[in-house]
Amino acid sequence: MEDFDEFIGRDLKLFGIQPEFIEKLKWMDKFVKEEVEPLDTFGFSPYDTTHPARAALFPPLQQKVRDQGLWACHLGPELGGPGYGQFKLACMNLILGRSRCAPKVFGTAAPDTGNSEILAHYGTPKQKKEFLEPLLQDKISSCYSMTEPAGGADPTTFVSRAELDPDTNEWVINGAKLWSSSAKYAAFFLMMAVTDPEASRHSSMSMFIIPATTPGVTILRNVGTGIHELDLHDPERGLPGGDHGYVEYKNVRVPFDHLLGRRGEGFLVAQTRLSGGRIHYGMRTIGTCKRAFDMMCERAQSRTTQGEKLALKQMTQEKVADCWMALEQFKLLVLRTAWLIDQNPKNYRAVRKDIAAVKAMVPKVIDIVVTHAMRLHGGLGVSWELPFTRYLMSGHVQGIADGPTEVHKVTIARQVLAKYVNRAAKTQDEINFTPYNVIALHHKALEKYRPHLQQAGVDEKWVTRGPGLNSIFATESFRSHL
């Protein structure tokens, strides 16, 4: 981005980021723009590791990323990453969010990032070698298979079952999962199923690794969203449909050690990936919106109508101002939340409200910025030739994925309101008229300062003319109550 220093440089200095990392970000910015963004026009999925064009083009670019020490930055050194915290990841994702292919080129694409974290935390040495290592080397892709057709956003209603066969010590899994993203490209699935139906709702499920080739695993169909996933319909190579698998598990057998974490800890394991992943939505949204904003401003300075450039039209200027303000506010919310996570990286609950706010704001910011940018381009803005409809659909998708916006708003409101329980009005008069109405506050103020006024010989008539008080104090009947 030509305005790197203004858009992000000032914020980096505000948070005390070292000049060396800022130079890394500038390298990323140039590299993504010149080397990676052009790949987005080729139409293949970055998750399709067997696609011939991807196989030819990605490895040299990924090596350049490794040479810069920027590969898989969400992971610690013991797993091949630099161990960057969430703040540095946020800064990187401001750039990666501009491109569909960039997260895979940098080894930080969801759901692989979250899945790799789960395997790193809970996988056995054998599982790490079989699944985690090739995933980190970008030799394979993975799938997070959680949502069920009847469950939607409420995982406590899931019905997929995993039962332990005492004769073989294998888990036998039955059920169906919807919205299993990139299932048709995945080498393995992380799947959550009920193992203890009599336990409490949040202790009834467990997480499993299921290799994609396991007998009984069937992708019934691949569901697409919007029109941009038409690119991914590839029946010639046996990969029809969109990017989100409707997967059936029928008498699927996996070894006992394919249980991740302890039995009944599926929710705990899932939170390893979900909390961090939810703020990543916000990080990449900033990149998407910045790209749309740049296109809008370039168009405003290029297009002429009714004798002058669009940039000189006041309605255009209003839209530009609204978009700039929305993007700046959201960017700072994301960066502050990432910074707060880094202060206590093992306790996401401390910033649960902030993470929920980031997730809830994603579709709103995309709607504001992208819609204005799209409309400023006229008919071309809604055509296949520009990415705005794809950007808008991504906002709607992100407003549903990993918990809908409404659920996150409830989380925010509950945490905010809990702090006011002890500040609620107590007397009936306070409940009726509030303890902070002007009459009550004036009465308290008089009690506090009356001795001082009397000592100074000041008549109280000089302090009965505050906002809203003139008409009240005009009546003798009210004065008699003082």
Instruction: Give the DSSP per-residue string, 111-156.
Output: THHHHHHHHHHH--HHHIIIIIHHHHTTS-EEEEE---TTTTT-GG
Q: Taking 80 as the threshold, does the pLDDT of residue 257 lie above it?
A: yes
Q: Taking 70 as the threshold, does the pLDDT of residue 469 lie above it?
A: no
Residues 278 and 391 occupy one common structural domain:
yes
The residues near 254 (Cβ < 8 Å, ≥ 6 apart) are 170, 171, 173, 208, 209, 210, 211, 214
The domain boundary, picked from 260, 289, 312, lies at 260
In a domain? residue 128: no
Residues 272 and 369 occupy one common structural domain:
yes
In a domain? residue 135: no
CATH code for the domain of 343: 1.20.140.10
Q: Taking 90 as the threshold, does the pLDDT of residue 442 lie above it?
A: no
Overall domain count for the chain: 4
Q: What integer best gives the mean pLDDT of the chain? A: 91
Rg (CA), the chain: 28
Note the pLDDT of residue 197.
93
In the three-class reduction of DSSP (H, G, I as helix; E, B as strand; rest coil), residue 480 is classed as coil
Strand partners, 223: 244
Tell me: cis bond preceding 211? Omega within 30 of 0 counts. no
pLDDT digit string, tens, across residues 154-189: 888 899 999 999 999 999 999 999 999 999 999 999
Q: Taking 70 as the threshold, does the pLDDT of residue 276 lie above it?
A: no
Residues 374 and 274 occupy one common structural domain:
yes
Calculate what percentage of the chain has a pLDDT beyond 90. 72
Predicted confidence band at 194 (pLDDT cuts at 50, 70, 90)? very high
Residues 58 and 173 occupy one common structural domain:
no
Q: What is the mean pLDDT of residues 250-255?
A: 98
The domain boundary, picked from 58, 91, 123, lies at 123
Domain span at 27: 4-123
d(CA 196, CA 214): 23
| Nearest by Cα to 256 from 126, 155, 146, 116 | 126
| Nearest by Cα to 384 from 370, 374, 396 | 374
Residues 297 and 349 occupy one common structural domain:
yes
d(CA 203, CA 268): 9
User: CA 78: distance to chain centroid?
Assistant: 26
Q: Taking 70 as the threshold, does the pLDDT of residue 471 lie above it?
A: no
Whether the full predicted model's pTM is greater than 0.85, yes or no, is yes
Label residue 340 exposed, middle or buried (CB < 10 Å: 0-12, 13-18, 19+): middle
pLDDT digit string, tens, across residues 372-430: 999 999 999 999 999 999 999 999 999 998 889 999 999 999 999 999 999 999 999 99
Residues 389 and 305 occupy one common structural domain:
yes
CA dihedral 285, 291, 292, 294 (to 10 degrees): 140
In the three-class reduction of DSSP (H, G, I as helix; E, B as strand; rest coil), residue 408 is classed as helix
In a domain? residue 433: yes
Asked if 353 contacts 416 with a C-beta cutoff of 8 angstroms, the reply is: yes
In a domain? residue 131: no
Note the pLDDT of residue 175.
97
Calculate what percentage of the chain has a pLDDT beyond 70. 95
* b/e sequence 150-189, b meaning 16+ C-beta within 10 Å: ebeeebeebebbbeeeeeeebbbbbbbbbbbbbbbbbbbb
In a domain? residue 324: yes
Residues 413 and 397 occupy one common structural domain:
yes
| Nearest by Cα to 330 from 33, 14, 7, 9 | 7
In a domain? residue 134: no
CATH code for the domain of 10: 1.10.540.10
| Nearest by Cα to 273 from 111, 142, 143 | 111
Distances (CA, A) of 95 to 36, 98, 114: 11, 6, 20
Residues 183 and 216 occupy one common structural domain:
yes
Residues 180 and 315 occupy one common structural domain:
no
Instruction: Give me the residue label for tokens 């915290």.
Output: 85
DSSP letters along 29-51, please? HHHIIIIIGGGGGG---TT-TT-
Residues 314 and 383 occupy one common structural domain:
yes
Q: What is the mean pLDDT of residues 245-265?
A: 96
Note the pLDDT of residue 179.
94
Residues 291 and 401 occupy one common structural domain:
yes
In a domain? residue 98: yes
Predicted confidence band at 293 (pLDDT cuts at 50, 70, 90)? very high
Residues 272 and 400 occupy one common structural domain:
yes
Note the pLDDT of residue 481.
55
Poorest-pLDDT segment among 315-319, 321-325, 427-431: 427-431
Note the pLDDT of residue 475.
56
Poorest-pLDDT segment among 278-292, 299-313, 319-333: 278-292
Predicted confidence band at 473 (pLDDT cuts at 50, 70, 90)? low
Note the pLDDT of residue 470.
58
CATH code for the domain of 192: 2.40.110.10
Query: How many Å from the N-terminal Cα to the C-terminal Cα in the chain?
Result: 65
Q: Taking 70 as the threshold, does the pLDDT of residue 138 lie above it?
A: yes
Poorest-pLDDT segment among 29-38, 178-187, 292-301, 347-356: 347-356
Element of type H or E holding 333: helix 314-343
Label residue 196 exposed, middle or buried (CB < 10 Å: 0-12, 13-18, 19+): middle
| Nearest by Cα to 189 from 241, 239, 140 | 140
In a domain? residue 130: no
Q: Taking 80 as the threshold, does the pLDDT of residue 467 lie above it?
A: no
